[in-house]
Structure 1
Amino acid sequence: MKKILSILGAVSLTVTGASSVIACGCNKSQQNIKILNKIIKCINLGAIFMKGEIPTLTELLVYIKAKNSSAIYLTENDFAVKGTISKTTATIIGKGNFTGEVTLNYTKKEKVDISLLKTIEAPAKIIAENIKYVSKDEWWNPTRIKVFEAIQNIDKLLTKNDYEITCTCLDFFDNGHLDLSTPKILSLLIKGKNNAYGSTSEIDITLPIATTN
């Protein structure tokens, strides 16, 4: 009988001296103010995942960062919505240390059918302290990277929070350990959640003989 193992696949500048302060005529908080439209230069966010008919601030922020490397440190505390968010546009205004406003454009992206995934490449190498007693982390970490790569080949907007993985193998023992002195077959079942739906059929991959280096 197969043994089942479920794995939840989910510079500030300080100026001192009275003369500097008088010459500048501004305080520290004014010096730290950032212009929102200089941080967010790409305003077309493209197709985005959203749970409802309109995006939340959290959902908008994910795609703002994805499209604008300069916005990597932006948080929800740095901006607010001006007016009403629509199905295709949202105007945000800076707050706190941010000022200015930006109008974002987007469309709703439908959930992805995870059953489109048919094959997963096995890891080329598994490193273990003891190849006859390979821990779950030792064989799973390289395997889940391959699962994520396969998911990304379906849709690059999917994340590790959009699917769950169930592994089955005849040879599991001691909470997921494997004897990888010989190759072992894993059966993987991927189930979509959040921005994905559906489920794959069982996908078999063959784990290679482990090495110690």
Structure 2
Amino acid sequence: MNGERALAEFSTSSSPPMFDAPVIQRSEDVATDLCGWADEFPVFRAATLDEIVSTLTAFVRDTTPEQIRAWRGSISGLQQQCGAVLDERSSAQRYCAILEYQMPDGSKRVDAVLLLSGAVLIVEMKGDGNWQPQYREQAADYARRLFWFHRYCGENNVRVHTVLVNYGYGESDEERDFLTTTRLERLSEVMKRFDQPEIAPPLTLERFLSADACQPSPSLVQAVRAIFRNTRSQRSNESMK
């Protein structure tokens, strides 16, 4: 828990590699009560927006018209950005997109999780990019919580990071520990910066969504609680100065 590992930069080829077109087949058995949609990048890119929205609507209870509009305004762009990585990197055939993922500690459902080589990216999307400092810190905390509470995140050189994505108006570019903000059309570049095919393979959907993935040990829970207590105590002491 001493901060994130160093980010390895990899250059990309000027022309996309050639490979056989994959057989697109929906993996019906991987989505669980932890998420609304889960599949590999080729399937995600090929899926229709209506198919995805229908699946998410069935998963999310009490779906509002605002939520459906947000899905329709952001998912197509996310598909395009995943497709851009697919077109440049043959390793991305095994990468996965998970939508409406329930965080392992039950704190929140995040918009998307992307499983890359050596990286797990939590993606939160907003139409205006107007993120207050408190929300930025909360979003960074999503990555920390996944690192702490998910059994397979943070191990074997897997970096966990939150990306706040603006798919509407306004500029949003920032990068710090556990958090990056960017515009939707630049998300593929962020993904490629975090992608580390020479260091670690991607987590599989089956492993990431497995029944034992979200069961932290008691000692870890105690350690996390101690950190939170110490942080609150330090902030309280600082406010009294």
Into which bin does the TM-score normalised by the smaller protein fall? under 0.3
Tell me the TM-score normalized by structure 1: 0.21
Higher strand share: 1
Q: TM-score, normalised by structure 2?
A: 0.20
- Report which of the two structures shows the higher radius of gyration computed on alpha carbons: 1
